[in-house]
Amino acid sequence: MGQSQRIRRLSERESAALDQRTPASSAMFRRAARVLAGGVASSFQAREPWPIYIARGQGARVWDVDGNEYFDFHNGFSAMLQGHANPLIGTAVASRYKLGTHFAAPTEDAVAVAEELARRWKLPGWRFTNSGTESTMAAVRVARALTGRHDVVRIQGTYHGHHDTLLVGLGALHERGIPPGTADLVHPVEFNDGDAIERRIVELERASRAPACLILEAVMTHVGLALPRPGYLEQVREITRRHGVLLIVDEVKTGLAIAAGGAVERFGLEPDLVTLAKALGAGLPTGAIGMAAEVARSIEQIGLVHLGTFNGNPLGMAASRANLLEVLTPGAYERLFDLNNRLLSGCDEVIAGSGLEAHTVGIGSKGCVFYGSEPVVDQRSFKRRHDPELAELIWLWLTNRGLFVTPGREQEWNLTVAHDERAVDRYVEAFAELADALTRQPSGSARA
Ligand code: PMP
């Protein structure tokens, strides 16, 4: 039996088993589909034949509407770094609720959160938003306003949110509804290739269209995990500085999750702007942009407006403050990163023991198993080896074994401070069974 036939057979079996275990999700989907487009609140939540509807979460676990229990390795696309229903966040939110939840006027919590972000990121100027999309949209606007330029250089295949400018470059499906004039202003280059960035900037300069900014993730998270090559980020900073192009480091996923001060701390970066969201608000929709001194000063000089009724919302700020000061402490990070190392080495042992052609990549609280031996360094190398049928099997396999993971993606995970050895060991066990199912020779034939 060929490998793709084996994957298909296993998927059929696992898919039938999951359908059996989730009748309440199926019923909820039928109800939802009447009133919610596609039965979900965001296209990212959609799944065939129906999504798994979640009823509740506690610590490292979630329960679906059928009562199935899972260890959560998805964690709301990595937003739940503090674990579900964390009591410290609960106390902060409950206390704030009694004092009023929204004034569209600043509160002291916003000041305290900005102070802590300024300390962690060594950037003096902060503003708040309500999502990663709003953060990257605001950062690009700031860069355009300050430079008086319109063009944007971005990395091919990175996701930066769903506003027009930064959906350009993610494929035809994502670009529906975006005016061609917007697409003309955006210039994608592959990750991990500093020379390509310089070439593109020079081309644009020659056409009298010098770009306002380059936006990138220091670790590319939309392709599993692609780490920056040694010297790449330094080269990017040198090039952008020399050409007067502002450098925006999108830390919506890496911020707080790979170090207390995100990629900026982890790699010693000196960005002009950073964008945060996800793990900042401890499950409440909260984002931020951070600005270097010169950017913050110029913003005040040119009087740029950055707006939003709910920016700095008191509930989100109270949750963020508790998250930063009480939950994500140095000790919590130490345990979190140790646990990720345990998970990575567990997966490495499974790979070595099974002969599966695969390798792991990890950083901070995040990790990924790549099938195949070629390293993933950019979107091109990711696409060459990405197998959507295998990705679907992995999702089904893990879900059926009580592990909630991000659908339609690589075998990737986001740990939280609520995870423990039991959770990661369960993951390794399920992966070992999968590796065995993928590599086992049919009975009667000798193993090569
Ligand atoms: N930037 C990055 C790097 C992201 O991963 C995401 C979301 N996955 C966003 C921005 C957009 O964030 P949001 O979904 O909160 O709008």
What pLDDT digit, counting tens, does each position of 55-108 carry?
Answer: 999 999 999 999 999 999 999 999 999 999 999 999 999 999 999 999 999 999
- Report angle CA 44, 45, 50 to the nearest 5 degrees: 135
Q: Which atom of ligand 1 is nearest to the CA of 77?
A: 8
Q: Which atom of ligand 1 is nearest to the CA of 287?
A: 15
Cα–Cα dist 1/380, whole Å: 29
Separation of CA 248 and ligand 1 centre (Å): 14
| pLDDT score for 173 | 82
Q: Which tens digits make up the pLDDT trace of 6-60?
A: 999 999 999 999 999 999 999 999 999 999 999 999 988 999 999 999 999 999 9
Cα–Cα dist 79/83, whole Å: 9
How do the domains of the chain map onto residue ranges? 3-81+330-439, 87-327
Ligand 1: residue whose CA is nearest its atom 2:
160
Q: Which atom of ligand 1 is nearest to the CA of 277?
A: 15
| pLDDT score for 226 | 97
Helices (H), 75-127: 75-78, 87-98, 108-121
Separation of CA 134 and ligand 1 centre (Å): 9
C-alpha distances (whole Å) from 277 to each of 79, 339, 448 are 8, 24, 48
Separation of CA 276 and ligand 1 centre (Å): 9
| pLDDT score for 36 | 96
Task: Report helix, strand or coil for 291.
Answer: strand
- The answer to whether the CB of 334 falls within 8 A of the CB of 89 is no
Band of residue 443 on the pLDDT scale cut at 50, 70, 90: low
> pLDDT at residue 114 above 70?
yes
Phi, psi of 404 (to 5 degrees): -90, 120
> pLDDT at residue 445 above 90?
no
Top-confidence residue, 3 or 285: 285
Separation of CA 287 and ligand 1 centre (Å): 10
Separation of CA 94 and ligand 1 centre (Å): 27
Span 435-444, average pLDDT = 84
Quick count: other Cβ atoms within 10 Å of Cβ 218?
24
Band of residue 300 on the pLDDT scale cut at 50, 70, 90: confident
pLDDT, mean over the chain: 95
| pLDDT score for 444 | 52
Which residue from 75, 129, 160 has its CB within 8 A of the most atoms of ligand 1, so it is best to mutate?
A: 160
Top-confidence residue, 224 or 302: 224
Ligand 1: residue whose CA is nearest its atom 1:
160
Band of residue 305 on the pLDDT scale cut at 50, 70, 90: confident
| pLDDT score for 447 | 44
Span 276-290, average pLDDT = 98
> pLDDT at residue 147 above 60?
yes
Which residue from 78, 130, 136, 273 has its CB within 8 A of the most atoms of ligand 1, so it is best to mutate?
A: 136
Which residue from 250, 252, 274 has its CB within 8 A of the most atoms of ligand 1, so it is best to mutate?
A: 252
Q: Which atom of ligand 1 is nearest to the CA of 136?
A: 10
Q: Which atom of ligand 1 is nearest to the CA of 217?
A: 3
Separation of CA 148 and ligand 1 centre (Å): 26
% of the chain exceeding 70 in pLDDT: 98
- Statement: the pTM of the whole predicted model exceeds 0.95: yes
> pLDDT at residue 276 above 70?
yes
Which residue from 131, 159, 406 has its CB within 8 A of the most atoms of ligand 1, so it is best to mutate?
A: 159
Cα–Cα dist 287/310, whole Å: 11
Phi, psi of 83 (to 5 degrees): 85, 160
Ligand 1: residue whose CA is nearest its atom 4:
160
* Least confident window among 20-29, 87-96, 240-249, 299-308: 299-308
Q: Which atom of ligand 1 is nearest to the CA of 158?
A: 3
Cβ-Cβ contacts under 8 Å for 234 (sequence gap 6 or more): none
Ligand 1: residue whose CA is nearest its atom 13:
132
Q: Identical fold at 3-81+330-439 and 87-327?
A: no
Separation of CA 150 and ligand 1 centre (Å): 22
Separation of CA 253 and ligand 1 centre (Å): 7
Cα–Cα dist 323/86, whole Å: 9
Span 367-392, average pLDDT = 94
CATH architecture of structural domain 87-327: 3-Layer(aba) Sandwich (3.40)
Domain 3-81+330-439, what fold? Aspartate Aminotransferase, domain 1 (3.90.1150)
- The answer to whether the CB of 136 falls within 8 A of the CB of 163 is yes
| pLDDT score for 13 | 98
Q: Which atom of ligand 1 is nearest to the CA of 285?
A: 15
| pLDDT score for 446 | 46
Residue ranges around ligand 1 (CB below 6 Å): 77, 131-133, 136, 159-161, 217, 221, 250, 252-253, 277
Ligand 1: residue whose CA is nearest its atom 12:
132
Cα–Cα dist 120/414, whole Å: 21
Separation of CA 204 and ligand 1 centre (Å): 27
Separation of CA 251 and ligand 1 centre (Å): 9
Closest-CA residue to 109 (of 123, 122, 121, 97): 97
Separation of CA 356 and ligand 1 centre (Å): 32
> pLDDT at residue 179 above 80?
yes
